[in-house]
Amino acid sequence: MTAPIYLSRLLTDRAMAHLESLGVPVRVGSEAPPSRAELQAGIRGAGAAIVTLTERVDDALLAAAGDGLKVVANVAVGYDNIDVAAATAAGVTVTNTPGVLDRATADHTFALILAATRRVVDGDRFLRTGEPWVWGPRMLVGLDISAGATLGILGYGRIGQAVARRARAFDMTVLATARSRTPGTAEDGVQFVDADTLLAESDVLSVLTPLTPQTRHLIDAAALAKMKPTAYLINTARGGVVDESALITALHAGALRGAALDVFENEPDVDPRLLDAPNLVLTPHIASAGEATRDAMGILAIDNAAAVLAGKPALTPVR
Ligand code: GLV
């Protein structure tokens, strides 16, 4: 009997229809994340596991799966939820979903940049108080990003490049740091600089680097202290890249003008101090949540699983 594909959570309707069209046995979780026990039971005996970023794939889970597991396909571009070394040692291919979510994630990054700098959420909250108001020249004034502001991109991968393209359309000066680029060089209107220059010169700093042991708390109190007090910090990567306590302190101290976070250090828990921090816009990890994008992410993960099960190379393996 063919080993089933285990899918830890319900994907979009289109992705679910795609999975069904493969005609292979499937075992499907529910919309909510599985408990650890449900995850272990679900993956047992599977040939492929399609998981989301809410599932931790480690040694113990791989052991629970048994010898038949060939591939773990993450429905995300980030894969810090998966112990890739353990999977590789167990002969299990790991895949992610690069490319298909670049535009949606860059769009949301820009939505947050504009929401924070142009005080969209402040304005919405203010109106809902019911306080009398009248247009005023000093009312809810924010930063004009298109009047010569500098965007700094920390992590110039595919999503960083998509954010840079949007920033150029807003006439922003764009700086970036990336391991693969040399400071002092430029490409497509983006100037590559070292990390200290990026921190010091950005009016808006967009964090887009994956979470690794090297990038955990890359934006800590020392990094925040190097930023302009008039700058904004936007994180659409992973919560762990930013030291939330340091950010909260900086916002209360006025050492930063504002911030926006789509991701959190201890997701799904949100530090209650973030809810009270001034000039902070929050969204619940929805940067890739466009309809077409979520379909494409699910379908790519399914195709990765199916390819490996059929003895073919994965489409987008993690290397
Ligand atoms: C979402 O956060 C992803 O990594 O795809």
Q: What is the pTM of this model?
A: 0.97
What's the gap in Å between 236 CA and the centre of ligand 1? Answer: 9
Count CB neighbours of 275 within 10 A: 9
Query: Is the CB of 77 within 6 Å of ligand 1?
Result: yes
What's the gap in Å between 77 CA and the centre of ligand 1? Answer: 5
Ligand 1 pocket test, pick from 79, 109, 288, 300 with the greatest ligand atom count within 8 Å of Cβ, gives 288
Residue 174 main-chain phi, psi, to 5 deg: -120, 120
- Pick the residue whose CA is nearest to atom 1 on ligand 1: 76
What's the gap in Å between 46 CA and the centre of ligand 1? Answer: 24
Clarify whether 285 is annotated catalytic: yes
What's the gap in Å between 237 CA and the centre of ligand 1? Answer: 7
Query: Is the CB of 76 within 6 Å of ligand 1?
Result: yes
Atom of ligand 1 nearest to the CA of 101: 5
Query: Is the CB of 150 within 6 Å of ligand 1?
Result: no
Selecting among 238, 244, 265, 294, the annotated active-site residue is 238
Ligand 1 pocket test, pick from 105, 211, 236 with the greatest ligand atom count within 8 Å of Cβ, gives 105
Contact 100, 300 (CB under 8 A): yes
**SS3 state of residue 274:** helix
What's the gap in Å between 198 CA and the centre of ligand 1? Answer: 24
Query: Is the CB of 159 within 6 Å of ligand 1?
Result: no
What's the gap in Å between 51 CA and the centre of ligand 1? Answer: 12
Query: Is the CB of 157 within 6 Å of ligand 1?
Result: no
Per-residue pLDDT of the chain (319 residues; tens, 9 = 90+): 689 999 999 999 999 999 999 999 999 999 999 999 999 999 999 999 999 999 999 999 999 999 999 999 999 999 999 999 999 999 999 999 999 999 999 999 999 999 999 999 999 999 999 999 999 999 999 999 999 999 999 999 999 999 999 999 999 999 999 988 999 999 999 999 999 999 999 999 999 999 999 999 999 999 999 999 999 999 999 999 999 999 999 999 999 999 999 999 999 999 999 999 999 999 999 999 999 999 999 999 999 999 999 999 999 999 8
- Pick the residue whose CA is nearest to atom 4 on ligand 1: 78
Query: Is the CB of 239 within 6 Å of ligand 1?
Result: no
Query: Is the CB of 96 within 6 Å of ligand 1?
Result: no
Nearest-CA neighbor of 207 among 240, 250, 169?
A: 240
**3-6 long-range Cβ contacts below 8 angstroms, 24+ apart:** 3/45, 3/46, 3/47, 3/48, 3/68, 3/309, 4/45, 4/46, 4/47, 5/46, 5/47, 5/48, 5/49, 5/50, 5/302, 5/305, 5/306, 5/309, 6/42, 6/43, 6/46, 6/48, 6/49, 6/50
Contact 218, 224 (CB under 8 A): no
